[in-house]
Amino acid sequence: MNKKDLERFARVEKQISEQSDTHKLSQLPDFPYKTLDELKTAHRNKDIVLGSDYSGDFLQVIGTTADNVIHMFWISLPIIIIIIDIVLAIMLKKWILLWGILFASIGFFSSSPYNALKKPISGLGTIFFISSFFFLDWTWSVLIGSMLFSQIFAMTAREQYRSVVEERALQSEIFFCYMLKTKHLLVKDTKTNKVYQPSEG
């Protein structure tokens, strides 16, 4: 984290403190941890897990310059795959490769943990991709690969986002409270499976 990132985070923390009355864990009603150190200990001991729903726009707020560059790299790869499919289709006059647009899109959207296709594409997609080299025309290897790798790259971007959210939450009490209140972050007790839901306001 460079100096510019530290200065930007300091400005954001100041804005949050000015706009919200809740910027300490002790101010969260019914929250079992009163300090950030207590929270870190519980997380380190795996008494709780932190989760988040993906939001590329929010990463611009909580991510460092390096975080955002890395995220842009991973999230751009599915688009590059589509471009490659189109170029190959035109150059080789293999118009079936234009289906790569659909296949890559399916892979991208199936990266969401809420998508029922996530596990089938990860598992069966890998099997079909490997099998395609032995039993199918090479164009099918490209199409299935477009779907599979688009999913992998998008999942990597999602995981990177989750990691940044967790890192920022454990570094800053102000960021933690803000993300929890705005539902960019959730806290789950691993023993009871209870998810802490802060009150509105």
Average pLDDT rounded to a whole number, residues 12-24:
84
At 189, phi and psi to the nearest 5?
-75, 120
The whole-angstrom separation of Cα 32 and Cα 199 is 14
**Per-residue pLDDT at 22:** 80
At 169, phi and psi to the nearest 5?
-65, -35
pLDDT at residue 80 tops 80: yes
Average pLDDT rounded to a whole number, residues 141-166:
94
Statement: the pTM of the whole predicted model exceeds 0.75: yes
Q: What is the pLDDT of residues 30-56, one digit of tens each?
A: 888 899 999 999 999 999 999 998 998
pLDDT averaged over the chain? 90
Chain-centroid distance, C-alpha 60: 13
Q: How many residues does the chain have?
A: 201
DSSP strand E in 27-114: where? 48-51
Range of weakest confidence among 59-63, 81-85, 124-128, 194-198: 194-198
Dihedral class, residue 30 (left if φ above 0, else alpha if ψ from -120 to 50, else beta): left
**Per-residue pLDDT at 138:** 92
pLDDT at residue 121 tops 60: yes
Comparing 152 with 200, the larger pLDDT belongs to 152
pLDDT at residue 97 tops 90: yes
**Per-residue pLDDT at 199:** 62
Give every CB contact of residue 168 below 8 A, 6+ residues apart in sequence: 62, 175, 176, 179
What percentage of the chain carries pLDDT values higher than 90? 57
Closest CA to 107 of 90, 95, 120, 88: 120
pLDDT at residue 100 tops 80: yes
pLDDT at residue 192 tops 60: yes
pLDDT at residue 201 tops 60: no
